[in-house]
C-alpha cells in the first residue's frame, strides 16, 4: 500500500509505524524556518523563486511547494495571516503595535531580526479586573483572521492528501506576558490571582472564538492536528511550579481550549512547550494533549530515551533535532547521525514526527537542513515479511 502524507502522520500520532518517519516543515508557527535560513537553503538548492514571509514579526518564511515536496513534507498549515492575524500598525521599521495594543520591537545589524514584545496596555501598576475590561480588545471574529483559509485548504486538498495542522491564532500566558510584561504577570499569578485568572479566561475565550471562526472556514473535518501551546519550561527547569501554579491556575485554561477544539474537529492536540517540559508532561496528557513539540532535547531531562521510556505509550513527539547545538554548530554528518538516532529512539513503534527543535534559526547551514530532511526521507520502518 502506498501511504498518503496524512495517513503517515496520523499513524505516527496513533503510535503505529508508517512506511517512513513522518516529516514536518512549517505546518505550525513554531516548526518553521527563518527567512535568512530559507534564503540560504534556496541558494544551496539552486532554487530561484521569490521568498514569502509567513510572519514578519517572527521573520519566518512560508516555504515554497517545491521545497516542501523536495523534503517529503507530510503536513500543511491552516493559519491566520501573519500567524496571529488581526490588524496592527507599523510605527517605524523596527516597531509594530499589534491588534492587542502590544508593542513589538526589533533591532538592526545582527543575524536575529525577529520582534519581541516590549510594552503593552496592562504594563505597570496593579493588575485589576477593571483594567482588563477597560482595555480595548480585538474582535476574535475579525474577518481578516480567517481570510483565505477556505481557499488554501481547498488548494492543499487538490494537491494531495496532507495532514492539515490548525494553528490556534494566539496564546494565553504568552499573550498575558505581552499585555502585562513577563515578570509582572508571573508575579500577578501570586499577588493578584483573581485578576490574573480573569485575564487568562478572557484570552481563552478570545482564542476559542477566533479558532471557531477560522475552523468554520477550513471545515472542521479537515483539521487533523490542533497546534497550541506556550513555554512552561526553562533551559534547566520549570518556569513555575508544575504541580501548583500550573496545575491550579493555568492548566484548566489550557484544558478548555484543547478540549473545545478537539471536540469541534476530532483533531489531535499538538502542544508546544519550549525548555524542560519534562515535569509538565503528565499534566499535558491529563488535559488531552496527544503530541509534544518542540522536544527541546538540550534542556534538562529532555533526552529522547527518557521521554520515550516514560511517556512513549501515551505521548507522541514532534521536533527533537537539536537547534541549540547540532543544527547550527555540527557538521552535516553529525546532523544525519543525530537525526537517525532521534528517529530510532522517539520513532520506535511510531509516535514521532521529524522536525527541528523550534524554527530553524538564521545561522543553520543549508547542508545541515538538507542532511536532516534527507535522513528522514530515506528512513524506512522495517515492514514485516
| Residues in touch with other proteins (CB under 8 A) | 105-107, 109-112, 116, 118, 182-183, 186-187, 189-191, 234-241, 245, 323-324, 328, 361-363
CB of 325: closest distance to other proteins in angstroms? Answer: 8
Nearer to other proteins, 178 or 350 (CB): 178
Question: Of 186, 39, 37, whose CA–CA distance to 112 is shortest?
Answer: 37
Which of 7/322 has CB closer to other proteins? 322
Least distance CB 189 / other proteins (angstroms): 6
First to last CA, the chain: 14
Q: Which is nearer to other proteins, 69 or 112 (CB)?
A: 112
Contact 290, 268 (CB under 8 A): yes
Nearer to other proteins, 33 or 238 (CB): 238
Distance separating alpha carbons of residues 113 and 92, to the nearest angstrom: 14
**Minimum separation from the CB atom of position 241 to other proteins (A):** 5
51 CB-contact burial (10 Å; exposed 0-12 / middle 13-18 / buried 19+) = middle
CB of 107 to other proteins, least distance (A): 5
Contact criterion met (CB below 8 Å) for 368 and 360: no
CB of 192 to other proteins, least distance (A): 12
Closest distance between other proteins and the C-beta of residue 182, in Å? Answer: 5
Q: Which is nearer to other proteins, 79 or 186 (CB)?
A: 186
- Using the minimum distance from each CB to other proteins, give the nearer residue, 75 or 322: 322
Amino acid at each position: 500500500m502506498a501511504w498518503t502524507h496524512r495517513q503517515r502522520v496520523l499513524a505516527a500520532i496513533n503510535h503505529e509505524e508508517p512506511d517512513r518517519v513522518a516529516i514536518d516543515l512549517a505546518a505550525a508557527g513554531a516548526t518553521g524556518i527563518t527567512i535568512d535560513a530559507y534564503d540560504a537553503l534556496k541558494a544551496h538548492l539552486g532554487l530561484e523563486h521569490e521568498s514569502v514571509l509567513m510572519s514578519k514579526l517572527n521573520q519566518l518564511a512560508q516555504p515554497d511547494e517545491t521545497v516542501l515536496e523536495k523534503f517529503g513534507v507530510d503536513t500543511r498549515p491552516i493559519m491566520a495571516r501573519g500567524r496571529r492575524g488581526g490588524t496592527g500598525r507599523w510605527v517605524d521599521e523596527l516597531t509594530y503595535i499589534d491588534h492587542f495594543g502590544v508593542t513589538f520591537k526589533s533591532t538592526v545589524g545582527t543575524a536575529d531580526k525577529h520582534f519581541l514584545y516590549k510594552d503593552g496596555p496592562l504594563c505597570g501598576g496593579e493588575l485589576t479586573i477593571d483594567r482588563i475590561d477597560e482595555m480595548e480588545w480585538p474582535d476574535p471574529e475579525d474577518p481578516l483572521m480567517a481570510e483565505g483559509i477556505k481557499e488554501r485548504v481547498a488548494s492543499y486538498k487538490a494537491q494531495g492528501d496532507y495532514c492539515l495542522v490548525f494553528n490556534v491564532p494566539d496564546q494565553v500566558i504568552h499573550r498575558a506576558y505581552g499585555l502585562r510584561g513577563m515578570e509582572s504577570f508571573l508575579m500577578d499569578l501570586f499577588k493578584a490571582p483573581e485578576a490574573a485568572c480573569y485575564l487568562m479566561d478572557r484570552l481563552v475565550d478570545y482564542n476559542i472564538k477566533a479558532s471557531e471562526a477560522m475552523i468554520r472556514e477550513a471545515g472542521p473535518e479537515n483539521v487533523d492536528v490542533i497546534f497550541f501551546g506556550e513555554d512552561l519550561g526553562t533551559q534547566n527547569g520549570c518556569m513555575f511550579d508544575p504541580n501548583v501554579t500550573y496545575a491550579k491556575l493555568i492548566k484548566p485554561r489550557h484544558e478548555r481550549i484543547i478540549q473545545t477544539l478537539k471536540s469541534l474537529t476530532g483533531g489531535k492536540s499538538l502542544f508546544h512547550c519550549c525548555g524542560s517540559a519534562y515535569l509538565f508532561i503528565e499534566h499535558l496528557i491529563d488535559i488531552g494533549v496527544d503530541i509534544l513539540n518542540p522536544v527541546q532535547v538540550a534542556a534538562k531531562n529532555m533526552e529522547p530515551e527518557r521521554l520515550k521510556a516514560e511517556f512513549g505509550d501515551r505521548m507522541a513527539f514532534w521536533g527533537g533535532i537539536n537547534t541549540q547545538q547540532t543544527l547550527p554548530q555540527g557538521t552535516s554528518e553529525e546532523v544525519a547521525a543525530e537525526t537517525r538516532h532521534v528517529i530510532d529512539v522517539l520513532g520506535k513503534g511510531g509516535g514521532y514526527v521529524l522536525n527541528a527543535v523550534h524554527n530553524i534559526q538564521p545561522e543553520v547551514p543549508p547542508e545541515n537542513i538538507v542532511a536532516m530532511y534527507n535522513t528522514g526521507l530515506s528512513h524506512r520502518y522495517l515492514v514485516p515479511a
